Every structure is written in C-alpha cells, then in structure tokens.
Structure 1
Amino acid sequence: MSNDQPPPPDPTPPGQHQPNWGNAYPQQPPPPGQGPPQYGAIQPKHPQATTAMILGIVGLVLCSALAPFAWVIGAKAVKAIDANPAAYGGRTEANAGKIMGIIGTCLLALALLAVIVLIIVAVSVPEAFDEDSSEFFIGSLFG
C-alpha cells in the first residue's frame, strides 16, 4: 500500500472556525479577597422551625392541646422564612409543624364537639347513663 492518496478535505468551509464545545467565555478570576462562590452552603434554620415540628408531632401523638401552638408557630416561621429566604432555612420543618398543627387542631375540635354532644345527651336523657338500666344507650334513646 502506498500513501499516494491525498488527505481528506477539511469539513469546515474556508473562513469559518471549528465550534468551541467547551466554555465559550474564559473564566474570570474572583475579585481580590473573595473566593469562589459557595454553592449549596447550608443556611441556619429558623429558630422556631424545629419547635413547630416538635409541637406538631407531640400535638398529634400525645396532647392535642399543643396542636394550635404548632400551627401558629409554624405559620409565623414559614412567613419569616419566605420573607427572607437567604437568611433562614428550615422551611420544610416549619411547614410540617404548621400542617401537623392544623390536623391536630381539627382533631381537637372534633373531640371537643364529641364531648359537648355527650354532655348534652347525658343531660337530656338521664336514664341513658343509669347503672340500674339494663338497656343500651341507643335503646334508651328510641324506646
């Protein structure tokens, strides 16, 4: 085999350059006294974010009376974080506490409503809760 073949033609037309698939603009050095930007820097959590989440969990699991406090504290923390997102993190915890506070407050309201209905029924149908009565509660209401 001989090398008598001419080289392949240049694929770019005359006067044009090959495209630069890398960075088209050279990197500028940072200003003096400043390092490269810190991407993904951890922001401090809002002071009330964890409090709202813990109150929300305790309000759902143990003591429903704490749920409204979780709702209020969580709502305030979310509002403060949204007002200045560069200063505070922890929006997820604050929002979780707020949502758990809303759920716990609804459950508390339903429990209070059930107690009120039970008291009204106890006052209006006194024989329903007598120890001597052999009828069930529902039977005493209808007959």
Structure 2
Amino acid sequence: MSQPPGPNPYDPQPYQPYGGHGLPPAPPPDHPQATTVLILGILGVSLCQVLAPFAWVMGGRVRKEIEASRGTVGGSQMVTIGWVLGIVGSCLLLLGLAFVVLYVIFIVILIGSSA
C-alpha cells in the first residue's frame, strides 16, 4: 500500500486564530482606576480606615464599568480585591466609631454619677 503524499510546503498555511504564530491575544488594558481602587482598599484596611468607603464606592462603580466593557477593559481582579478591602475597612471604621461612642457614653455616665 502506498501512503498519501505529505503536505506541500507551498500550500497556504491554515488560519491562525490568535493573530499569527500561535500566540494568545494580548490581555486588554486595565481600567485606569483599577490600581487606585486597590491602593485605597489596602490603605483603608491597614492604615487609615477613612479611605475605605472611597475604595468601596469607587470599586463598585469601576466593577460595573469593567463588566459593561464586555472584555475590552481589564483589571477586574484588582478592582474586586480593592472593593472587598474597602468593605472590610468600612466595617472596621464603623466598629471603631461604635467603640468611641460607647466609651464617651461610659465616661459621661461615670462623671455624672460621681458629681
């Protein structure tokens, strides 16, 4: 039995779905505010809880913009991490404010009872 002839090197090559040479497409550029949300979230949890609500609000808005872009804008992981850190930092801020209010009420009660 004879084997069929091999591929002709002069035949046109099959279409490359990724733009040539078998490389995957480049990832989409990150949203311009993705890094800002991440930094605000990290700072809001670690150093200054006042920044956490800004990370929460900005992160929610940027997440919606990334979803609406249908893959043309990236950075959703950074934004999601910053958004979650913003929520955690906001909860810590509220918890700290509640302790301050309870402490002031306790002091007022102690001063009022000793007078």
1:120 aligns with 2:101: no
Once the two structures are TM-superposed, the CA of residue 124 in structure 1 deviates from its matched residue by: 1.1
TM-score by length of 1: 0.62
Is the alpha carbon distance of 1:29 and 1:96 closer, same or farther for their aligned partners in structure 2, counting shifts above 3 Å? closer
Counterparts of 2:70 and 2:80 in 1: how far apart (Å)? 14
Letter in 2 for 1:83: A
Tell me the residue number matched to 1:101: 86
Decide which of 49, 64, 68 is 1:64's aligned counterpart: 49
Letter in 2 for 1:85: R
Tell me the residue number matched to 2:66: 81
Q: Secondary structure of 1:125's partner?
A: helix
Identity percentage over the alignment? 43
CA RMSD of aligned residues (A): 2.5
Once the two structures are TM-superposed, the CA of residue 67 in structure 1 deviates from its matched residue by: 0.3
Tell me the residue number matched to 2:5: none
Letter in 1 for 2:108: V
**Which has the higher Rg, Structure 1 or Structure 2?**
1
Tell me the residue number matched to 2:34: 49
- Unaligned runs of 5+ residues in structure 1 are 1-26, 129-143
Larger helix proportion of the pair? 2
- Unaligned runs of 5+ residues in structure 2 are 1-12
Give deviations 1:91-134, integer Å, cap 9, x for gaps: 00000000000000000000000000000111111189xxxxxx
Letter in 1 for 2:54: F
TM-score by length of 2: 0.77
Counterparts of 2:60 and 2:40 in 1: how far apart (Å)? 13
Once the two structures are TM-superposed, the CA of residue 38 in structure 1 deviates from its matched residue by: 6.4
